[in-house]
Structure 1
Amino acid sequence: MQADPQQSIPDLADRLTVTTSRLTRRIEKLRETGVLRGQRAVIDWQALGYAVEVSLRVTLDKTQSRAFDDFIAAARDIPEVLEIQTFLGQVDVRLSVIARDMPHYQEIYRARILTLPHIADIEALMHVARIKSDENLPV
């Protein structure tokens, strides 16, 4: 299912040498237990004209009790922020930001990123190449 989520249940059952009804029950159990969270469309943002990806490492002013909550809530509102991760350590948050080109990135950075609340420090890492990007688990 990971490799080809569009394949039909009967075809997958044949590949796994189980009956369609048995496979359907297994899939339903995986959904009920939260192992399968659904299907989704994966959009190639580069095909839509986005050519720049930047990873921003952000350190927050942790003297503010709502620093994480306020920052994350505001960052979620930026459409070009594809991913938000939090960490323990010197870096508190990482944002993955896309832009059409460098002038577009500068516009996003100056107008949206730098206005996010409670930033103590920020470091930008320009993505050069994606060597591996795989969401399939080794099951």
Structure 2
Amino acid sequence: MMTALSASDIADHLGMTPPPCWRRIKRLRDDGILDRQVWLANPELLGFGVTMYATVKLATHDADATTAFRQAVQTYPEVQECYILLGAIDVLLKVVAKDIQAYEAFFYNHLSQLPGVREVTSSVIMTEVKKTTALPVNV
């Protein structure tokens, strides 16, 4: 598990003193390069034992239909990520659920009922091989 680094820790790592390091961090925040600082919760320890990826094909691609879909998907806390794609698949969703039965209920009661949904294909995560939020940049 990776822990949060203080400005002093980052300064030591970069070979600088804390005050200029803190100013650089503040500038990166002000410039929008550092978007936010978060703690990532372990879904399994919170009872979410299943992570699914669902690909969605929409029936139509007009602005009204896609806007309705985007707005509706935002209302479901089970949906962790949503991406609009170019290609054969229109949408990729990352969904967490307590178990397969909970996902099945979410699928039938919500996901398959979203505006404009023509087809949904779900894939369950068996093993997490790599998961990171770090970008491949050199500091």
1:9 alignment partner in structure 2: 7
| Residue correspondence of structure 1 range 62-101 to structure 2 within 5 A | 62=60, 64-101=62-99
Instruction: Give the letter aligned to residue 88 of structure 2.
Output: Q
Aligned to 1:137: 135
1:11 match: secondary structure? helix
Aligned to 1:23: 21
Show the counterpart of 1:41. Answer: 39
| Structural mapping, 1:101-112, within 5 Å | 101-112=99-110
What RMSD over aligned residues (CA atoms) do the two structures have, in Å?
Answer: 1.5
The TM-score with structure 2 as length reference comes to 0.89
| TM-score, reference length from structure 1 | 0.89
Q: Distance in 1 between matches of 2:63 and 2:16?
A: 54
The secondary structure found in structure 1 opposite 2:60 is: coil
Aligned to 1:104, the other structure's residue is in SS state helix
Q: Does structure 2 retain, via aligned residues, the 8 Å contact 1:64–1:118? A: no
Give the residue type in structure 2 aligned to 1:126: V
For the residues of structure 2 that align with 1:11 and 1:80, how far apart are their CA atoms? 35
Residue 55 (structure 2) aligned to one of 52, 57, 61: 57
Question: 1:36 Cα shift?
Answer: 0.8
Aligned residues with identical type, % of pairs: 29
Distance 1:67 1:127 in 2: 29
TM-superposed CA distance for 1:107, in Å, is: 0.9
63 and 40 in structure 1: CA distance in 2 versus 1, 3 angstrom threshold: closer
Find the residue that maps to 1:114 and give its secondary structure.
helix
How far did residue 16 of structure 1 move?
A: 2.1
Q: Please, which of 118, 123, 126 is the counterpart of residue 125 of structure 1?
A: 123
What stretches of structure 1 of length at least 5 have no aligned partner? none
Note if contact 1:53-1:96 (Cα within 8 Å) is conserved in structure 2: yes
